[in-house]
Structure 1
Amino acid sequence: MFDTMTLTKAGAAVIGTLLFFLLGSWAADSLYSTHAAAHGDEGEVATGYVIATADDESDEAEEEEEEVPFSEMLASADPSKGEKVWGKCRACHKLEDGANSTGPHLFGVVDRPIGEVGDFNYSDALASLDGNWTADELNAWLADPKGYAPGNKMTYAGLKKEEDRANLIAYLQTIGG
């Protein structure tokens, strides 16, 4: 049916195609990646190009000065924007009282005791915490759930933007309670 020459040609075509894509990937990586070791971060690779500015240290100092306390940010937060951020939480949490899902319901979560929704099976990391879910506690939790309570079951990495956290907490303040 097939002779060995046809099989050899087909095999060479497949291997050649894979080699072409491998070399293309290598070429693209070498063109568009900069090694962060040149910028002081050993072993990491940053994509894109580094653009040097006149005074990087003064930019960092200005950013620190402009930082607004979370309480002020929360006071001016927009619950309607928080409702949009809530879309990231919706897969695992519900807002209806007593309607647990993968995560506990968030009805009246602001100022509720931590880890105390009666019919939800919390991880030991959260069940052992004392206190209430104040706005500041929720902010810390939402920024880095694994850092806040190491060993908890929540797989979400956290909301990195403080403005998003403030808007979300403002929205959650309007739900129940």
Structure 2
Amino acid sequence: MFDTMVITKAVAAFCGALLVFLLGNWAANELYTPRNANAPQAFIIDTGADDAAAEPVAELSFDEAWEVADAGAGSRLWSQCRACHSLEQGRNGVGPYLYGIVNREIMDVDGFNYSGALAQVGDVWAPEVLSAFLQSPSGVAPGTSMNFRGIANVQDRANLIAYIESES
């Protein structure tokens, strides 16, 4: 069944098919490549993209963001916190309730078992301390049991803290 003639025909068929594909590729490249593909551009449209990249954007400080904080905008961010926290006084969830947390002593909720990592944060949940903690909980209090990635935008953090304060 497998004599030299069958093997020769199979190899010849493979080489013939390869040759057809290579010739087809060469023909397609010749037909569809424009003659002036490497020519310089005839004109340039200024979109201003280079100007925007060259101009540095000033980072907003927390104090500036706190002055213009919008509690209404912070209400949509509350959904990230609502899974573990409550704004009702005395109602703890996975995390302690946040009613009156702004300027409250740290680890001051009765009936909630804190991890102990918050002792290194400070004494009071001032808005600046809350902002730093919301930006990176594990960065401010290594070993905290709060498993949250953080909020990078300083204005979002200020809006969220203003919302929590307004609901207290």
AA aligned opposite 1:155: N
Residue equivalent to 2:93: 101
Q: Which amino acid letter does the alignment assign opposite residue 85 of structure 2?
A: H
Q: CA RMSD in A?
A: 1.8
Alignment of 1:40-59 (within 5 A): 58-59=54-55
- How far apart, CA to CA, are the structure 2 residues paired with 1:57 and 1:170? 32
- Is 1:71 equivalent to 2:63 in the alignment? yes
Distance 1:56 1:79, change over 3 A: closer
Q: Counterparts of 2:53 and 2:76 in 1: how far apart (Å)?
A: 35
Query: What letter corresponds to residue 100 of structure 1 in structure 2?
Result: N
Q: More deviation in 112-121 or 141-150?
A: 112-121
SS at match of 1:164: helix
| Unmatched tracts of structure 1, length 5 or more | 1-52
Matched, 1:134 2:145: no
Q: Number of aligned pairs?
A: 120
1:92 matches 2:84: yes
Rounded to whole Å, the distance in 2 between the matches of 1:175 and 1:104 is 16
TM-score computed with the length of structure 1 as normaliser: 0.63
Q: Relative contact order (alpha carbons < 8 A, sep ≥ 6): 1 or 2 greater?
A: 2
Report the CA distance between 1:109 and its aligned residue. Answer: 0.4
In 1: Cα distance, 2:73 partner to 2:53 partner? 33
One-letter code aligned to 1:159: I
Structure 2 residues not aligned, in runs of 5+: 1-48
- Counterpart secondary structure, 2:167: coil
Equivalent-residue separation in structure 1 for 2:128 and 2:90 (angstroms): 24
Match of 1:154 in 2: 146
| Pairwise CA distance, 1:161 | 1.3
Q: Cα deviations across residues 25-84 of structure 1 (Å, max 9, x unaligned)?
A: xxxxxxxxxxxxxxxxxxxxxxxxxxxx8589844xx22xx2222112111111011011
Which residue matches 1:35? none
Runs of 4+ in 1 over 6 A off after TM superposition: none
**Greater C-alpha Rg:** 2
Percentage identity across paired residues of the two chains:
43
Secondary structure (helix, strand or coil) at the match of 2:130 reads helix
